[in-house]
């Protein structure tokens, strides 16, 4: 049988691993550890994501329903031998295919994924680094902060529903934890107020805003308008927003 040339063209960007562990690290964050038979050869920078293939995008189903094929997850950790990687999947409210996969995937399951993408990673020459986001952002912030090392100047605000939802992050760093306590995570007034209250050492750093799209936009506008930050110094990674499918 002749090989599909489209499938062949994409084969070098795809690999399969197997779930080794799957467990909760907070009530709404699941740790999913994958193990591969061969070294994971793709280039990678902390903060980048993979696309987990939940339905084949090159199948007839995938062509007709492209939004129901891939979901994005940031790499939390890549083993030194490059035969294993860890994801952190947020168990948000809803019923999408990404949520079902994150809840139901279990040890032994095969996982096909597309190699890392994205430019949401740290700027190495920045004199300080500002992080702001909620639960979904912490999955990206963890590897980024770990890569900066203990000597970097890291400032920021991490929001969650309550203290039990705070995901442990590498330290020691000056990260403030705030809690919504039942308030909406979309357009979060809690997170915006906490960032506005920060005593920042000027506007020469690099800012990383992640999580709900509207909240990220409001914080960016605050930094640019009220703190005189250049837009080029601010990176945004929207993981979700109400009513939009496919971001998880």
Residue 112 CB contacts under 8 Å (≥ 6 apart), including other chains: 14, 15, 16, 52, 53
Check residue 10 and give its pLDDT: 57
Task: Please check whether residues 36 and 62 belong to one and the same domain.
Answer: yes
CATH number, position 12: 2.40.30.10
Task: Please check whether residues 113 and 138 belong to one and the same domain.
Answer: no
Check residue 4 and give its pLDDT: 47
Give pLDDT tens digits for 191-220: 999 999 999 999 999 999 999 999 999 999
* SS3 of residue 196 by DSSP: helix
Q: What's the rounded mean pLDDT across residues 9-37?
A: 90
Of the three residues 117, 137, 163, the one that is the final residue of a domain is 117
Does residue 144 lie within any of the structural domains? yes
Q: What are phi and psi of 21, to 5 degrees?
A: -145, 150
Task: Please check whether residues 152 and 113 belong to one and the same domain.
Answer: no
CATH number, position 214: 3.40.50.80
Element (H, E) at 138: helix 135-148
Task: Please check whether residues 134 and 200 belong to one and the same domain.
Answer: yes
The count of structural domains within the chain is: 2
Task: Please check whether residues 138 and 101 belong to one and the same domain.
Answer: no
User: Residue 46 and residue 140: Cα distance in Å, rounded?
Assistant: 8
Does residue 98 lie within any of the structural domains? yes
Does residue 123 lie within any of the structural domains? no
Q: Which residue has the higher pLDDT, 44 or 12?
A: 44
Per-residue confidence at 11, pLDDT binned at 50, 70, 90? Answer: low
The conformation of residue 166, written as its DSSP 8-state character, comes to P
Tokens of 239: 């993981």
Of the three residues 89, 117, 145, the one that is the final residue of a domain is 117
Residue 78's CB: how many other CB atoms inside 10 A? 18
Does residue 228 lie within any of the structural domains? yes
Task: Please check whether residues 67 and 109 belong to one and the same domain.
Answer: yes
Of the three residues 62, 83, 117, the one that is the final residue of a domain is 117
Task: Please check whether residues 53 and 145 belong to one and the same domain.
Answer: no
Give pLDDT tens digits for 62-82: 888 888 889 999 999 999 999
Query: Which residue, chain included where needed, has tokens 């990673």?
Result: 121
Domain residues for the domain of 88 are 5-117
Does residue 246 lie within any of the structural domains? no
CB contact burial 161-190 (16+ within 10 A = b; e otherwise)? beeebbbebbeebebeebbbeeeebeebeb
Give pLDDT tens digits for 28-48: 999 999 999 999 888 999 999
| Residue 182 contacts residue 189 (beta carbons within 8 Å) | no
Beta bridge mates, 209: 132, 236
Q: State percent of the chain over pLDDT 90.
A: 72
Does residue 83 lie within any of the structural domains? yes
Strand intervals (E) in 27-122: 29-35, 49-53, 70-78, 84-90, 110-117
Task: Please check whether residues 88 and 185 belong to one and the same domain.
Answer: no
* SS3 of residue 11 by DSSP: helix
Task: Please check whether residues 64 and 139 belong to one and the same domain.
Answer: no
CA dist 142 → 15, 42, 95, 173, 230 (Å): 24, 20, 26, 12, 25
């Amino acid at each position: 049988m002749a090989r599909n040339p489209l499938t062949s063209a994409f084969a070098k960007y795809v690999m399969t691993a197997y779930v080794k562990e799957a467990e909760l690290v907070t009530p709404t964050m699941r740790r999913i550890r994958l193990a591969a038979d061969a070294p994971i050869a793709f280039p990678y920078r902390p903060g980048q994501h993979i696309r987990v293939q939940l339905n084949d995008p090159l199948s007839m189903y995938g062509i007709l329903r492209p939004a129901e094929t891939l979901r994005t997850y940031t790499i939390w950790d890549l083993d030194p031998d490059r035969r294993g990687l860890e994801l952190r999947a947020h168990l948000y409210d809803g019923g999408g295919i990404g949520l079902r996969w994150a809840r139901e995937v279990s040890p032994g399951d095969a996982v096909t994924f597309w190699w890392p993408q994205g430019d949401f990673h740290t700027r190495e020459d920045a004199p300080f680094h500002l992080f702001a986001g909620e639960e979904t952002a912490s999955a990206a912030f963890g590897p980024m902060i770990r890569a900066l090392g203990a000597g970097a100047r890291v400032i920021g605000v991490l929001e969650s529903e309550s203290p039990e939802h705070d995901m442990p992050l590498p330290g020691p760093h000056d990260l403030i934890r705030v809690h919504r306590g039942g308030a909406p995570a979309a357009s979060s007034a809690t997170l915006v107020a906490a960032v506005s209250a920060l005593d920042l050492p000027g506007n020469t750093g690099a800012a990383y805003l992640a999580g709900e799209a509207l909240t990220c936009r409001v914080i960016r506008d605050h930094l640019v308008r009220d703190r005189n930050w250049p837009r080029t110094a601010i990176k945004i990674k929207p993981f979700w927003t109400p009513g939009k499918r496919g971001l998880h």
